[in-house]
Amino acid sequence: MHEWDYIIVGAGSAGSVLAARLTEHSDVSVLLIEAGGRDLPPAVAVPAAWPTLSGSAADWADVTTTQVTSGVSEPMPHGRGLGGSSAINAMVFTRGHRTSYDAWQLPGWTFADMLPYFRRSETTAGRDPRLRGTDGPLTVGPAARPHPLFADGLTAALEAGHPFADDPSSGVREGFGWTDLTVALGHRQTVADAYLRPVLGRPNLTVETNATVYALTIDNGRCTGVAFVRDGRPHTVTAGTEVILAAGAIGTPHLLHLSGIGPAAELEQAGITPLVDAPGVGQNLQDHPVSGVLYRAARSVPPGDGNHAEITGLVQSPAATRPDLQLLFVDLPLRGAGLPGPDAGEGYALQVALMAPHSRGTVRTVSADPLTRPVIDPRYNTDGRDVAALVAGLEIARDIGESAALRPWRGREVLPGPDGDLRASALRNIRSYHHYAGTCRIGDVLDLELRVRGVDALRVIDASVLPAIVSGNTNAPVVGIAERAADLITGSRKEVVGGPSVGR
């Protein structure tokens, strides 16, 4: 075959959902194209091994520019292979607070609109079935064997006056509690494991791996297909209905730029002929920057079999109007690049993640050569409001860290240090949470049904569509967005050809 109804670029979280949902209908043919491989490193399956996957064969291994506020560049891992970033992330499955979605003020994209799709994606136990799913593809829940540090950490947060959240992953709770993880029977469950691999035998689904898409084919304003390279040979394939980009907040704008869709002046500087002047493509890059309080432990921190961060807390900084800080207890001494601290097993951290950043960055394409990686500049902490919120979060973390419940674990504070400057630490002890979003946002680059403005038969469905990043880890939102997008796509098809719509 050289023509399919739908071509999906990227077999990460969104692409896996879309391929599975669209091919539920036998009259629909789908080609799913993935740059990475079908088989992933063995460490992918081991929950505690996720820190080793950065820079592996399952990672694009991008880096940022040198950040003006920290003076260092940050690794920007994002997934390559079936499952995408769900194969290398830390497996936290939380939606973010409902106010994140409602703040977009976009019809059809409120938290209430998204809730049926969140529920459709998951199977949970012991959660409120009005809020949580009970028969979806992803099996999610708290760690089966909680780490003792985290049990004491939760007690410490409650001692410090924070509320207990019985379901911090639901999107309607503030406070601290046991977060849900995409771990099933002791092994990581990627979105591809849950959605895609069970349906690989469908005759209407074709999956091409180790195939790198380098251009969209556009004819008279319509996207008609894609061009890709596999084993050094170029191929061109055609989509009879639509092309769907699900390559992530870095890969999707880069591919649009290479295809002539983006800021015209920047494309010309890169040697690319502009076809559609779309200034918003590659703008509005957001991430959750992470700082924290680091402790040398008073006793050995035992290795856990979970994801190293089983407790989360969602709180509000003094200047915020909605929850904007996530705190995590981490059984590793995580810190910014080049900063001193204990080795694994000798320390732990209370991480502070800014969940509603005001700073905005860019993904820029600087060459027409597809092998030249884009230039990624998140511009962390360039808006002073972000620094103030992180400082407030560090104060909260330090207050919890000094509680009686953590006394058996607490040695001494290494970062910022007892006399350390919190503002300086928020600027220097900074890491990426690897939650890239916003570079093809709804309401600017895309319409309300995720169609690219200025090009027919082309949609974007991944984290790049978020107008503003949500106050939670981004995997669950992307899965929910893809579930809703499958309904939008099938509804459009029904209007055109009378086919059935996706439903359960």
Whether 393 maps to a domain, the answer reads yes
Burial track 487-498 (b if 16+ CB lie within 10 A, e otherwise)? bbbbebbeeeee
- Region 418-422: mean pLDDT is 92
Query: Residue 496: pLDDT band by 50, 70, 90 thresholds?
Result: very low
Q: What is the pLDDT of residue 157?
A: 98
Q: Please report, for residues 35, 169, 331, 404, 405, the alpha-carbon distance to residue 175 in angstroms, rounded to integers and kept in the order given.
A: 40, 11, 20, 19, 17
Number of H helices, E strands in the chain: 10, 24
- Phi and psi at residue 176, in whole multiples of 5°? -110, 140
Q: Which residues have a Cβ under 8 Å from the Cβ of 302 and sit 6 or more positions away?
A: 147, 148, 345
Query: Residue 110: pLDDT band by 50, 70, 90 thresholds?
Result: very high
242-272 pLDDT per residue, tens: 999 999 999 999 999 999 999 999 999 999 9
147-181 pLDDT per residue, tens: 999 999 999 999 999 999 999 999 999 999 999 99
Q: What is the pLDDT of residue 470?
A: 98
- Kindly state the tokens that stand for 227: 């061009």
- Which domain does 422 fall in, by range? 141-180+289-361+376-433
Whether 108 maps to a domain, the answer reads no
E-assigned strand segments in 209-339: 211-219, 222-230, 233-245, 261-262, 276-277, 289-297, 311-315, 325-330
Whether 325 maps to a domain, the answer reads yes
- Region 464-493: mean pLDDT is 95
For the chain, what is the domain count?
A: 1
Q: What is the pLDDT of residue 493?
A: 60
Q: Is the pTM of this model over 0.75?
A: yes
Q: Has 435 been annotated as catalytic?
A: yes
Whether 304 maps to a domain, the answer reads yes
Whether 337 maps to a domain, the answer reads yes
Q: What percent of the chain has pLDDT over 90?
A: 95
Beta-ladder partners of 7: 31, 243
Q: Please report, for residues 52, 300, 364, 483, the alpha-carbon distance to residue 156 in angstroms, rounded to integers and kept in the order given.
A: 29, 19, 44, 38
- Region 58-72: mean pLDDT is 97
Question: Looking at residue 419, which CATH number applies to its domain?
Answer: 3.30.410.40
**CB 440, CB 253: distance < 8 Å:** yes
Q: Measure the CA–CA gap between 12 and 102, rounded to whole angstroms.
A: 26
Q: Please report, for residues 244, 366, 374, 376, 503, the alpha-carbon distance to residue 371 in angstroms, rounded to integers and kept in the order given.
A: 21, 11, 9, 15, 40
Whether 390 maps to a domain, the answer reads yes
Query: Residue 498: pLDDT band by 50, 70, 90 thresholds?
Result: very low
Q: Measure the CA–CA gap between 141 and 312, rounded to whole angstroms.
A: 13
The contacts found for 57-66 with CB under 8 angstroms, 24 or more apart, are: 57/81, 58/87, 58/88, 59/88, 60/250, 60/251, 60/373, 62/250, 62/373, 62/374, 62/376, 63/376, 64/376, 64/377, 64/378, 64/432, 65/375, 65/376, 65/377
Catalytic residue among 78, 147, 254, 435: 435
398-410 pLDDT per residue, tens: 999 999 999 999 9
3-state secondary structure of 414: strand
**CB 55, CB 8: distance < 8 Å:** no
Query: Residue 380: pLDDT band by 50, 70, 90 thresholds?
Result: very high
215-252 pLDDT per residue, tens: 999 999 999 999 999 999 999 999 999 999 999 999 99
Q: Mean pLDDT score of the chain, rounded to an integer?
A: 95
124-147 pLDDT per residue, tens: 999 999 999 999 999 999 999 999
Whether 172 maps to a domain, the answer reads yes
Q: Which residues have a Cβ under 8 Å from the Cβ of 347 and sit 6 or more positions away?
A: 294, 295, 296, 297, 301, 332, 333, 341, 411, 414
- Kindly state the tokens that stand for 399: 């207050």
Q: What is the pLDDT of residue 491?
A: 86
Whether 219 maps to a domain, the answer reads no
Q: What is the pLDDT of residue 268?
A: 98
Would you say residue 63 has pLDDT above 60? yes
Q: What is the pLDDT of residue 494?
A: 55
423-458 pLDDT per residue, tens: 999 999 999 999 999 999 999 999 999 999 999 999
Phi-psi region of 84 (alpha: psi -120 to 50; beta: other; left: phi over 0): left
